[in-house]
Structure 1
Amino acid sequence: MCYSEGHPVRLIGGRLALDFVNTADWTADGHIAHEKLRSLADLTLWLEAVNLDSKPLDSLANLIRYRASLRQVLLSGGDPSSLNAVQALCFEDASSDPITRRQPLQALLAASAVSLLADSREHERIKMCPGENCGWLFIDETKNGRRTWCSMESCGNRAKAARHYARKKNRAPARV
């Protein structure tokens, strides 16, 4: 299953809210480096990958704004104001009708985020991949808590290859 640009749908976050935030690649300063949800078809593919109803009721533009806000809240910390911020995110829509303001997908994502923020053990294990223009969030569920990369298949291997290249480039030529 791939997005319209051919990138595979990868679910590495470990929780629904994290996997949704990971539908974009992020720069170190929190801007989007690469958008994966470029169309409703891309959103439908992601929904199918996470086994949710593939008929989104939320507009794509609202969901992308919501995703950025949700990411900020997840990175901000697990204090009570973060929980309030997630709940407030469900009601940011301009509509005044409370029934239509709370969109189904946003409500599911908020519930996932609240469960992450409410449990300090969960929240303490949220990590951000240091890969260049990745910035994906994930739960480090390793016993020793030392997972660094979103996945070794992508960012981890690129970092290892870059270190190897740098060592090889800086190595003095052998004298004969």
Structure 2
Amino acid sequence: MNFVFVGGDVSVDFSNTIKIVNGSKTDLLASPSSLYNWTQQLELDIPYESLDVNFQYFKSLRNLIHNCFQDFAYKRKINKEHLNKFNDFIRQFDIHPNILPGLPMFPSLSYESKQIDSPLLHHIVKSFLDVITDEYTLDRLKPCENDECVLLFVDKSKNKARRWCSMTTCGNKIKASRFYYRKR
């Protein structure tokens, strides 16, 4: 699978496992092994068995996150129904915050659940909550300007001028097309 990591945040990259391939929307997380490959490309050391056992939960979480991010990126508002479904998901599995001692003196926040033993799933939940509850980051969540692309990214440029998920993929394609039509 050709995963892309252009989102600037693990939850955005997780959402980007739904992308356009050969003109149609494609789910890149078709199996536990594809989820395992995604984690390997992120250089995360997650046992395959953990991903296999929790695969359907990962797919559900990814779809919930994808819907919320798509809402905000295109409409600048998250559908209340999508947020309620996400809240139902974290309630169903009793995913809750846990404050850990930090280095050197600041505590850090993580999430855990007694029902799902998956640090990756909890990390993705935390990442998603960090994005949607931080006005600065959420305001910079953007869709690629290529109409044939559904990928999202957090624009970390100084002046919020980033337009493409990737300059080499979408940006170059659009610029070359515009150049071609200008020269005709």
TM-score w.r.t. the length of structure 2 is 0.69
Name 2:55's counterpart in structure 1: 60
Name 1:174's counterpart in structure 2: none
* Equivalent position SS for 1:164: helix
The one of 11, 16, 26 equivalent to 2:10 is: 16
Q: Which amino acid aligns with 2:160?
A: G
- Range with greater deviation from structure 2 (48-57 or 14-23): 48-57
Name 2:124's counterpart in structure 1: 109
Check the 8 A contact 1:136/1:150 in 2, yes or no: yes
* Higher Rg of the two aligned structures: 1
- Range with greater deviation from structure 2 (10-19 or 129-138): 129-138
Name 2:114's counterpart in structure 1: 99
Q: 1:38 to 1:133 in 2, by over 3 A?
A: farther
Q: 1:70 to 1:51 in 2, by over 3 A?
A: same
Residue 61 of structure 1 and its aligned partner are, at CA, apart by 3.8
Check the 8 A contact 2:20/2:150 in 1, yes or no: yes
Q: CA RMSD in A?
A: 2.9
1:117-128 equivalent positions in 2, closer than 5 A: 117-128=132-143
- Aligned positions, number: 154
Q: Which amino acid aligns with 1:126?
A: L
Q: 1:39 to 1:141 in 2, by over 3 A?
A: same
Task: Give the distance between the partners of 2:64 and 2:86, measured in 1 at CA.
Answer: 9
Name 2:68's counterpart in structure 1: 73
Name 1:130's counterpart in structure 2: 145
The one of 19, 27, 31 equivalent to 1:39 is: 31
Name 2:106's counterpart in structure 1: none
The gaps in structure 1 that reach 5 residues or longer are 172-176
TM-score w.r.t. the length of structure 1 is 0.72
Task: Give the distance between the partners of 1:121 and 1:26, measured in 2 at CA.
Answer: 28
Task: Give the distance between the partners of 2:71 and 2:147, measured in 1 at CA.
Answer: 21
Task: Give the distance between the partners of 1:131 and 1:105, measured in 2 at CA.
Answer: 31
Task: Give the distance between the partners of 2:121 and 2:174, measured in 1 at CA.
Answer: 34
- Range with greater deviation from structure 2 (101-110 or 121-130): 101-110
Q: Which amino acid aligns with 2:65?
A: L
Identity %: 28
Task: Give the distance between the partners of 2:44 and 2:172, measured in 1 at CA.
Answer: 31
